[in-house]
Amino acid sequence: MKKTGILNSELAKVADDLGHTDLVCIGDLGLPVPNGIHKIDIALKRGEPSFIDVLQVYLDNVVVQQVFLASEIKTQNPAQLHAIEEMLPQGVGIDFISHEELKQMTRDCKAVLRTGEDTPYSNIILQSGVTI
């Protein structure tokens, strides 16, 4: 039995298979997942697990070079934006796009993780980097 790292077997498999520039989305309860995209539903109940908890585990285990956030988070959920900015490793760029564009980008993701988060615009697309 695995004792460290990502314990969710579906998410661990996705993380293990990522290549440079591959995309993964971590989303809130309401983010739609396009047909044909791998959905990993880890929501237990409203608020659990939180978006931030899942993002932290992901960042602890995957090299990220770029992230995409809905520009609406700036006014609709600034506390969440601040938490995200504090967590991102130095040098990781943030691209702000419309929420509609973010939903369209999920079509290019290897997987979408559904959390229990229920605050507005708590969605992020993470682009994989490379280890050095």
Report the binding-site residues for substrate. 28, 99, 121-123
Residues in the chain: 132
**φ, ψ dihedrals at 27, nearest 5°:** -130, 170
Q: Round to whole Å and give the CA distance between 75 and 80.
A: 10
Instruction: Locate the DSSP E strands across 1-132.
Output: 23-27, 38-41, 64-70, 93-97, 111-114, 124-128
Binding residues: 28, 99, 121-123
Q: Which residues pair with 67 in a beta bridge?
A: 94, 126
Tell me, yes or no, if 20 is annotated catalytic: yes
Question: 7, 9, 13, 20: which is the annotated catalytic residue?
Answer: 20
Q: Round to whole Å and give the CA distance between 11 and 39.
A: 10
Residues annotated catalytic, as ranges:
20
